Structure 1
């Protein structure tokens, strides 16, 4: 604001108005613009935090890959022939999965994935394996095409899940491909799976036996051990 000084009574001319020294007004203007700009950035950051996004509109780096799937080593691969239940994931992110296979004669398979799915009450998400009958082991024996329940799967709140270092079957089984399936089954049936595995004569479920079990397919993917 300009400071108007009445001046001295001496002299015949009216005193000149005393404004701010030259350059000070421009400096204050630049400071004001900088303050306003800084406030806008802070406001954008606060709004972005409330919405779960970064100021430029992209997801925050810490949340964009909560399962660290993009940081897996080179020996991890996305299995081909991935399928998922389009009804279950109609309004959700598509599931993602990666696999790694050891080079042993009885390979160990590890899988990691992200599955944004709310498991209904009374249901269990279960991992199932099925040897591919179109593939052969090191002795020329084909996969038996039977269904083998492996383990229940409990995704984290971010949908992360994994199954680590699971042997395919027996020494020399290398070459047998496997279809991995995630299915929903009732709690009673989920409890029956390990009981059946303990049976001395049990060797997986045949197609007819599997069809008799009430399941909902969630997703499937193929893993080669060749």
Structure 2
């Protein structure tokens, strides 16, 4: 059933905190109805309440990107509540355990690799493919995948994290594959690097605020119909693969 208001609807995965919440705030300020996708019931509810208090139209869906059942159920809620999806922000991600050489390539813990890929890559594919039928109902659907310059084979930025960095490299490649497959449709897919943002992801060590990190994502989520496709961008523009 279509909601009474005809605003565009955006699903942000992992939207209960950090960059994800800042993206939700930014898109909400532009008039989007925000769907807060998060696993934690309490944090999801609190995030929705904060958005509503700020004048943003928002509701939450239970969403574990590693679970087929959870993602399918979330899509059904969005279908019943909004009737379509205009923007999908694949923000949910994990860094993975790195103590005791778990992400040193010479002592790499393959279980850590599997865990990181399950969220950062397989989760993106799972959510994207499940939500695609809702996106196809939009006049201007946009998908933005949250990547990192650590996934750039050219830049090789950041510390050595042999599970996390390759997960972003693969995510970049998956983004390009989606863009190629959807090239003759109105679905525009890109990847974004928010930069080194202070969140609990890194112990609040980054120099950038969540709002600063969200800016490039919001820009890609609101691209015009002739905007770039299959690219990798940060605040400065295209990021080398």
TM-score of the superposed pair, with normalisation by structure 1: 0.25
* Rg larger for: 1
Flag the structure with higher strand content: 1
- Larger helix percent: 2
